[in-house]
Structure 1
Amino acid sequence: MKPKSLPPSRSLPPRRLLAIAAAAALFSSQGAHAASQTKHPKSTLNGAEVVCPLGTFICTPRPDNFALCRPNGQLEFYDPFLSKDSSLRPTAKTYISADYVQSPDQTIYHLSGHIKTIRADQELHADFADYNSDTSDYDARGNVHYQESEQLLSADHITGNTDNSTGLATGNVRFQMLNSHGNGTAVRGQMLDADHHRYTVATYSTCDIGRHIWEIRAKQITTDDTTNRGVARGATMNMFGVPFFYSPYMSFPLSDDRQSGFLYPYFEHTGEAGYQFRLPYYLNLAPNYDATLTPRYYSLRGAMLSGEARYMFPKTNGIFDFEFMPSDNYNDQKITPTSFDTQGQQRYLYHILNTTTLWPGWFVSTNIQRASDQNYLHDFGDDLFTISTALLYSSVYLNGGGNWWNASFGGDMWQNVDPSEPNSVEPYKRLPRATFNMDIPFARWYDFGLTSEADDFHKFDNVEGARLDLTPYVDADFQGPAWFFRPKLAYRYTAYSLDSGYQNYSYYGPISAGTTSPFTQSNPSRALPIVSLDQGLIFERSTSMFDTNYTQTLEPRLFYLYVPYRNQNNLPLFDTGLMDFDDWMLFAPNQFSGADRQMNANNLTAAVTTRLLDDGGVERLSATFGQIRYFTPQLVQIPCSGTASGCSPTTDWAGSDYVAELSTQLNDQWTASTEYLWNPNTRLTDLGTFTLQRRLGFDGILNFSYRFRRGLLEQYDVSAVYPLAERWRLIGDWTYSVMDKRTVEALAGVQYEGCCVKISVVARHYVNGYDGVITNVSPTQPGPGSDTAVMFELEFKGMGAFSGQTDSILRRDILGYQ
């Protein structure tokens, strides 16, 4: 801590002067502790923290919490009633008491016997103290105790000079930071100046005093208050008194501020890369940019360097991530395509994410992801989320907008990173792509708008060309407190300009001999009107349930959609597919994604929703039931490969699936939701989901979910964070596929959290996407393989973690994990 300025000493009475001298001695001696000026949010000490709300997709990490530490674990002389406001020091009076005071020449003062001085947030105790007012030298001896708002300190003997901000503490030096929970001991502590300190034969830990589960033991520890960083030389990390890590040089944080230095290593094992070791180094280059470099070593593949750079300037900000392996030592034909032998090859992955503001309302957004080969994520991924990534998306756009309009110009492209698929699965590149949308209100109820998009599509060995899609519209929004009526009239025009040679292709590649191409024109087009009427009522009443008062709503809604039929079999399929029917499609104007197909419609959707709102307006229950009634058949279809007609008969059903939804959270301990789609024509269930989440105590959670989509998947998932005791938690996640009759992912682990340490051991078994020999020439259809990863994470609270990777995976896999 930096000494505060004091009034001139010669103008003060001797007794007050001596009191200030004694306090000044402590200002100097406080530099003799190992971790001064550490500042943490108070919530990390008193246990106050926000519990992740039920239903949150990914919960934020909790800050370090020392609530499990021993209550009232301060040094024995701590005074809880002393002021905590250090800003009062310059103007506060100093109070002193002692058994004896001597001053033979009004320059040197001697105090002895139960010395006690108090000024604002500072309090000093000693048996003896001497002070020279001419030289500002001081000498405090015998049970020297000092307290201020942020720290405690004790020593047998402290000497120093107030003017030079120097001091020397010897004999049983002990210290404690009241805000960061850091504490330790030293044989000798020296204050070099107001901001730099050196300690000999010292220890440091954030554990309870006298109960150090872990600590740093060093021949010498220096601290720098300007950087809030400590450096230990000849340092050994000890756990339960057993040394497990030695370093001649170790840098560690004294606060939560970003600081350069080594982060703690990380260990993991996977089947495809072997044992993995990482040692990150963080570079705090400036307040607005930093970087992290992480050397890695894989026992089966070799050395790799990865890194991350972050920057934030007035008009640009972004992140750059990369992984680079100069030579891959691993080669296994079982998992490697024959056209790409990874042995001896460079492997890399990079991601650039940037946003740059050019002028008000205009900015450039960049998102580029590329890998050296399509096997990269399979070989170096260590979880199901990474392994299941099949495409890497890249885009660059110039974006602009105003009060009633927005526009963009740029392009998109994809890279296939699924080893089991040929590169032909990559979507069309849209280079360039431009959009322009506007919505202009006029009169009281009306809007005039336009959505438009122009693209140029490119894909090897497929039909290519440009597309323009324009949809001007006029809509209105008539509404009152208990009703709404929203008519809309739109006109959709889509035109193409196909490149030469379009006659040689079908929808999915070159046509075979004797097959007629569906593309008979180089400039096909489509034009049709779209009319919709959306109307609803809202009724309310007061009701009660389980001795709780609620407001219940009843909300009937009708949505009419009319779109005339247009034959679109001569239009290509650049970026369009049939979307799975879901609840939101009850009120959608098109069942196809992209602009290549516009469905015909003469439909009426009828739906009703009821809600229960508590007195605070929180929605505790919501239920919806609805269906679309078709007055004309659905004629527009997505064609199969090599044909110009639909794969299945035109849909002439009288109605769509019945859609039923229910979600409830009657209290803060549990929530449940379900969705059910039943087809009255086939009398089969098309979709069924059920999710239940139950809170177990303060930090436990139980999740159960069932997911069914006919012909696509049927899965059960159970996950839990189960608190065994105050300090122990069991963690598990199991996902089972009924269709594949196998476990998709299984995770099991145990966590221990004490006063100053967290330990996590997690094992994961997951499907890695494929198993068998793959060739890019004629890919087979291999069955899914599997891999196993074991992760170990050890965190010393207040010192940083070995890695946040285990924690991030658990937050992603277990709903509500925190």
Structure 2
Amino acid sequence: MAVAAALALVGGQADASNGQSPATRDASGAADLACPLGSFHCAPRPLDYAMCRPNALLEFYDPGLMRDSSLRDSSPTQVQAQHVDSSNQSVYHLSGDVRLERADQLLRADRIDYNNGSTDYDASGNVRYQDAGQLLAASHMRGNTNASHGVANDVRYQMLEARGNGTASQGQMLDAQHTRYSQATYSTCDVGHHVWEFRARSITIDKVNGVGVARDATMRVGKVPFLYLPYFSFPIDDRRKSGFLYPTIGHSGRSGYEISTPYYLNLAPNYDATLDPRYYSARGAMLGGEFRYLVPGSTGQLNAQYVPRDHGENDGLADTRGDSRYLVQFSDSTQLWKGWQFVSSYNHASDASYLYDFGDSLSHSAIYTLSSNAALVGSGKWWNAAVGGTIYQNVNPFITDRGLPYKQLPYARFGMDVPLSRWLEFGLDSEAVAFRKNGYVEGQREDLYPYLAADFGSSAWFVRPKVAWRYTAYQLDGGYQDYGYSGLLASGASTPFTDESPSRSLPVVSLDSGLVFDRAASLFGHSYTQTLEPRLYYLYVPYRNQDNLPLFDTNAMTFDYWQLFSPNRFSGADRQMDANNLTGALTTRLLDEGGVERLSASLGQIHYFSPQRVQLARGQNSVVPPTDWTRSDYVAQLDIRLNDRWRLASSYQWSPNSRLTDMGMLELQRRIGTDGIFNFSYRYRRGLLEQYNASVVYPVSERWRLVGAWTYSVKDRQSIDALAGVEYDSCCVSLRLVGRSYVNQAYYGFGPIATAGRPDRRDNAVMFEVVFKGLGSTGGQIDPLLRRDILGYQ
């Protein structure tokens, strides 16, 4: 008897490559994907359906049914019934607990009439259908097998792969991949326990494109309707699709209440866009947008925001009331030919206050400078090169453009590293840059840094000598003698520059060496391998007077452990320190049986055989004396991870010259359960800052998590950033409410503020986010903030 199993209303070739049952699949969502302690970037947590009821399926679900839908055409149909009437040899009347099974399809009913010639069928009485993709129950179902269409009444349905389920007064199978429900509901919550659902005049399911469409729909939370949409589309699988993302609702001290209703456009597989209309109660309407593309040889992104008329109050900063304001951000990388690509970025705001008003809110850090760059970049097996230019825009309304870095228009860089033998290599770092900045000395700089480096050793020892020569030359523009290090002499600058073409040339010689000892060790009943690694680093650089060289892009770097082994304590090429130094350092590590480093402790110090004479700049009427140190700070650092739940990191610098602590840092991290974390840190740098910081993600229960972060400045005797929030997670809904109180740019004291009064140095923001699982989210406005402020947040 040829009875096809395609009697289902929403049957079709559902992908059943995953052999897990829904109950098993849901439970796997709660797998421990905790971010490793100390990680700065943690992968987002996937949507977790672990809190859904493991057996929240329609009651007739059969977990033992085959799940491979590809075997349907080649599999026979097995028929079971208490009574079979085939007296007319054409229509079969089956009754009494009828069961038709083929491959992954199973149809059960009290009665089924099947026409073997036309393949019409009529099932009635407790109709139940199951395949790899869905379950369906109905009081009556009729249709045609060959045409793959049918009609069912009083329907209950459930999608096994996408978790959608609901009810309908009637369902129609249009073909094997398309189904329409009338007077229907849809939700991804547990069957019979809908926290939210759509009620629509019709819901169409398109398996080919992975899209559901609801018409004349009302969304309800509980029994309360709160959103009406004449047309709404939603995903039924993980593929991208066009449609509304859920609104963002928030409030900040600068812009008032905010509501955002983004709409995603899945234009093509290789490009898409998002339109983001917003309204700020204190400033007016904004239209934002994002466009991303990936075409052969190129990838890029364009973001834009436009405020046609800002009606915000004038607060003493730039008067933007009534102005149109905008922000444009563009980046592109285009492959030109093998080894070469063109990279570019353009970032520009209409005014210096734009990001202060619209960007520095709950989910953003303060940004003071926007940079734009265009460059031709190439690389090969032993070389790299770049030619381009970089400009900057000031977006801090509390300072002038004097605080901007020099423009580099243009620059050219070339580097190479050529192996001459197994242990010897030749290298070169070089650049030529034209520096531009109004009100400051301008000119061109060429820097050449060739070197020879050798590497001898084994797993137990190493010796790495290096010989280099550094040549730096300048060609200053006309009027250079009118400038000092701080700008015009009339502004109180230092001694003017006296040479139009100054230069510097000197050798840089270093010898790095070390030993590695190891032994078996035991601690707290665990076996480890302990290493002892002494290291000596000698550096020689003769003194050259560099007082007549301008400072284009050079600053003194913060002293830390890695500075013990650095050939220069200045960034940029405008200064090369003199040195006759020997660094001694000692490191010990504990490695567990799997090779994981559980403890690392290091201590080091530089011994100066001659004074450090090169300084950044000398004042007009004073001379900066050379340092008379014979020893640098003692630098110590410690990192302990004796298990996967605790981490302790610390660094400390003590000066034997002043007998004072110059720097101290302590970080403690504790994993709480599988999705909680606690962080505590203390940071101190003499004369600059002393801060305490604490942050936590605390799981109160399976559904509730508290989040918080707090930074306190001892120097300022105030909290400079505080955040508190709550997260709720259930089977089909996640909620987050976060508030933040923080200091704005004015706190950091960038020079005098040209305002009638002192601006408020503290802002507040609050935001609410909801995720209806399986439908979308608000776009993740809160997530970047929590990732930034809570180390290890997921």
Give the TM-score normalised by structure 2: 0.96
The alpha carbon displacement at 1:58 in A equals 2.5
Report the residue type matching 1:380 in the other structure.
F
- Alignment correspondent of 2:407: 429
Correspondences of 1:164-179 after superposition (within 5 Å): 164-171=147-154, 173-179=155-161
Instruction: Answer yes or no: is 1:688 the counterpart of 2:664.
Output: yes
What is the distance in 1 between the residues matched to 2:411 and 2:373? 10
Question: What is the letter of the counterpart of residue 673 of structure 1?
Answer: A
Are 1:230 and 2:206 counterparts? Answer: no
Per-residue deviation, residues 593-637 of structure 1 (Å, max 9, x unmatched): 100000000000000000000000000000000000111111111
Task: Give the corresponding residue for 1:411.
Answer: 389
Secondary structure at the aligned position of 2:2 is classed as helix
SS of the counterpart of 2:175? coil
Partner of 1:5: none
Do the aligned partners of residues 384 and 457 (structure 1) sit closer, same or farther apart at CA in structure 2, a change above 3 Å counting? Answer: farther
Deviation at 1:50, TM superposition (A): 1.8
- 1:422 CA drift (Å): 0.9
Report % sequence identity.
56
Match of 1:565 in 2: 543
- Listed one character per residue, the Cα deviations across residues 423-443 of structure 1 (whole Å, up to 9, x for unaligned) are 110010001011110111113
Q: Which of 642, 646, 658 is the matching residue for 1:670?
A: 646
Structure 2 partner of 1:486:
464
Q: Does 1:705 align with 2:688?
A: no
Rounded to whole Å, the distance in 2 between the matches of 1:515 and 1:794 is 56
Q: Does 1:766 align with 2:739?
A: no
Distance 1:319 1:294 in 2: 15
Which shifted more, 722-731 or 603-612? 722-731
Match of 2:153, SS state, is strand
The corresponding residue for 1:91 is 74
Distance in 2 between residues matched to 1:191 and 1:148, nearest whole Å: 15
State how far apart, in whole Å, the 2-side matches of 1:756 and 1:567 are: 69
* TM-score between the two structures when normalised by the length of structure 1: 0.93
Q: How does 1:256-655 map to 2 (within 5 A)?
A: 256-334=238-316, 336-337=317-318, 341-383=319-361, 386-512=364-490, 517-639=495-617, 643=620, 648-655=624-631
SS of corresponding position for 1:129: strand
Q: Pick one of 226, 233, 242 that aligns with 2:224.
A: 242
What is the alpha-carbon distance in structure 2 between the residues aligned to residue 737 and residue 487 of structure 1?
A: 44
Q: Residue 319 and residue 240 in structure 1: after superposition, are their counterparts in 2 closer, same or farther (change >3 A)?
A: same
Structure 1 residue aligned with 2:97 = 114
1:66 aligns with 2:49: yes
CA distance, structure 2, for counterparts of residue 377 and residue 743 of structure 1: 23
Answer yes or no: is the 8 Å Cα contact 1:377–1:387 preserved in 2. Answer: no
How much has 1:644 moved relative to structure 2? 8.5
Cα pair distance change 1:515/1:639, threshold 3 Å: closer
- Residues 666-675 or 148-157, more deviating: 148-157
Contact 2:362 2:782 in 1 (8 A): no
SS in 2 for 1:343: coil
8 Å CA contact 1:115–1:128 kept in 2: the answer is: yes
Distance 1:789 1:523 in 2: 53
Kindly provide the CA deviation profile for residues 49-96 of structure 1, in whole angstroms up to 9, marking residues without a partner as x.
522111111212111111111121111111111112222222222211
Q: Distance in 2 between matches of 1:573 and 1:532?
A: 26
Aligned partners of 1:554, 1:269: CA distance in 2, in Å? 55
Deviation at 1:197, TM superposition (A): 2.1
Shift of 1:643: 3.0
Given that residues 436 and 451 in structure 1 are in contact (C-alpha distance below 8 angstroms), is that contact kept between their aligned partners in structure 2? yes
Alpha-carbon spacing, 1:776–1:104, altered in 2? closer, same or farther (3 Å): farther
- 1:734 counterpart letter in structure 2: W
The whole-number CA distance in structure 1 between the counterparts of 2:572 and 2:274 is: 40
3-state SS of paired residue (2:72): helix
Q: Which moved more, 1:559-568 or 1:162-171?
A: 162-171
Q: Is the 8 A contact 1:36 1:254 kept in 2?
A: no
Distance 1:291 1:43, change over 3 A: farther
Q: 8 Å contact 1:230–1:253 — kept in the other structure? A: yes
Separation of aligned partners in 1, 2:763 and 2:26? 38
Amino acid at match of 2:249: F
Give the deviation of 1:805 after TM superposition: 0.9
Letter in 2 for 1:533: L
1:728 aligns with 2:704: yes
The amino acid of 1:146's aligned partner reads Y
Q: 1:8 aligns to what?
A: none
What letter is aligned with 1:445? W
2:128 is aligned with 1:125: no
C-alpha separation between the residues in 1 aligned to 2:503 and 2:621?
A: 16
Pair 627,30 (structure 1): closer, same or farther in 2 beyond 3 Å: same
Question: Structure 1 residues 783 and 591, CA, compared in 2 at 3 Å: closer, same or farther?
Answer: farther
Could you tell me how far apart the structure 2 residues matched to 1:168 and 1:469 are? 79
How far 1:706 sits from its partner (Å)? 0.8
**Could you tell me how far 1:266 is from its partner in structure 2?**
0.8
* Distance 1:191-1:719 versus aligned 2 partners, 3 A rule: same
Q: Secondary structure of the residue that 1:407 maps to in structure 2?
A: strand
Q: What is the DSSP-based 3-state SS (H/G/I as helix, E as strand, rest coil) of the residue aligned with 1:705?
A: strand
Aligned counterpart in structure 1 of residue 84 of structure 2, from 101, 113, 118: 101
Amino acid at match of 2:353: N
CA contact (8 A) 2:98 2:110 kept: yes
**Partners in 2 of 1:138 and 1:384 — Cα distance?**
60
1:137-167 Cα shifts (integer Å, max 9, x gaps) = 2111111111111211111111112232221
Counterpart secondary structure, 1:91: coil
Between the aligned partners of 2:747 and 2:351, the Cα distance in structure 1 is 18
Kept after mapping to 2: 8 A contact 1:326/1:346? yes
Counterpart CA distance in 2 for 1:644 and 1:243 is 76
For residues 208-264 of structure 1, the C-alpha deviation after alignment (integer angstroms, 9 at most, x for no partner) is 111111111111112222221111112111112111111122111111100011111
Q: Which position in structure 2 is the counterpart of 1:159?
A: 142
Q: CA deviation at 1:331?
A: 2.4
Query: Aligned equivalents of 1:739 and 1:76: distance in 2?
Result: 65
Instruction: Supply the distance in 2 between the matched residues of 1:621 and 1:113 (Cα, whole angstroms).
Output: 71
Of 168, 185, 192 in structure 2, the residue corresponding to residue 186 of structure 1 is 168
Give distance in 2, aligned partners of 1:49 and 1:536. 40
Instruction: Kindly provide the CA deviation profile for residues 708-764 of structure 1, in whole angstroms up to 9, marking residues without a partner as x.
Output: 111221111111111111111111111111111111111111111111111111111
Residues 643 and 779 of structure 1: is their aligned pair in 2 closer, same or farther, counting only changes over 3 Å? farther
Unaligned runs of 5+ in 1: 1-15
| Between 35-44 and 424-433, the greater mean CA deviation after superposition | 35-44
Number of residues of Structure 1 aligned to a counterpart in Structure 2:
789
Contact 2:639-2:650 within 8 A present in 1 as well: yes
For 2:119, the equivalent position in structure 1 comes to 136
> What amino acid does structure 1 have at the position aligned with 2:272?
D
Report deviation, 1:661.
Answer: 0.3
Which residue matches 2:717? 741
Q: Is the 8 A contact 2:26 2:52 kept in 1?
A: no
- Residue 2 of structure 2: aligned partner: 17
User: Distance between the aligned counterparts of 2:493 and 2:391, measured in 1?
Assistant: 30
Aligned partner letter, 1:314: P
Q: Cα distance 1:513–1:82, how it changes in 2: closer, same or farther (>3 A)?
A: closer
Gaps of 5+ in 2: none
For the aligned residue pairs, the C-alpha RMSD in angstroms reads 2.2
- Structure 1 counterpart of 2:743, which letter? V
